[in-house]
Amino acid sequence: MNQKINIIGICPETPIFESSYVPLISFKNQEQKKAAEDYITREANNFFKILLKKAQEVKPLAYPLLITELDFKKIDMSYFYENIFYDLERKPDGKLEAKIKWGITFDVKCAPIELIYVSSESRGFDPKIAEKNGKGRLQRRYGTIDINGKPVFYYIYFTLQEILDVIKPLANS
């Protein structure tokens, strides 16, 4: 997950966004951008360690390329092939396997699922069960785009406040 995720810009960058419903987030300098993106990447890594049972590669989708549920009705199918399915691989059994992608969202409607963290020492630990029965502490909200019931893209929910909490200490240094 060391790819550039290009989540946050630096003034006066003005990237072209795929969606009209994804907000432009911009900070004054490179130090703030790096701190915010490092935090987001670290949180995404922790999220996937908890959620996925086996280690697998997950790739971030650049923030300006993200879409919301409102975009699904008007976006061309080529968007999915160019941004999510471009690296399909055929497994030895002949089935196609999509590499998992992820992106951040500030829209709670894109992240209707709550991942609850339950200690791995807990009897019968399974993050999916913890997610459903609500026992444990909230780890992160998320949503998925699925193909045949299997997630191929994860929306990981962040609040603007948690991003601000990361960059505010930089003003004092």
Q: Does any domain span residue 84?
A: yes
Reply yes or no on whether the pLDDT at 16 is more than 70.
Answer: yes
Q: Does any domain span residue 22?
A: yes
Alpha-carbon distance of 105 to 144, in angstroms, equals 11
Reply yes or no on whether the pLDDT at 6 is more than 80.
Answer: no
Q: Which amino acid is at 170?
A: L
Reply yes or no on whether the pLDDT at 117 is more than 80.
Answer: no
What is the reported pTM?
A: 0.79
Q: Does any domain span residue 3?
A: no
Give SS3 for 130.
helix
What is the total count of domains within the chain? 1
Cis peptide before 169 (omega within 30 of 0): no
Output the pLDDT for position 131: 46
Reply yes or no on whether the pLDDT at 23 is more than 90.
Answer: no
Alpha-carbon distance of 109 to 86, in angstroms, equals 26
Output the pLDDT for position 115: 79
Helix H or strand E segment including 139: strand 137-147
Q: Does any domain span residue 109?
A: yes
Residue 96's pLDDT band (boundaries 50, 70, 90)? confident
Reply yes or no on whether the pLDDT at 144 is more than 90.
Answer: yes
Q: Which amino acid is at 103?
A: G
Q: Does any domain span residue 4?
A: no
Reply yes or no on whether the pLDDT at 148 is more than 50.
Answer: yes
Contact 51, 116 (CB under 8 A): no
Give SS3 for 157.
strand
* Strands 137-147 and 113-117, bridge-based pairing: antiparallel
Alpha-carbon distance of 54 to 66, in angstroms, equals 26
Q: Does any domain span residue 1?
A: no
Residue 52's pLDDT band (boundaries 50, 70, 90)? confident
Structural domain for 164, as ranges: 9-172
Alpha-carbon distance of 42 to 158, in angstroms, equals 12
| Residue given tokens 């966004």 in the structure block | 17
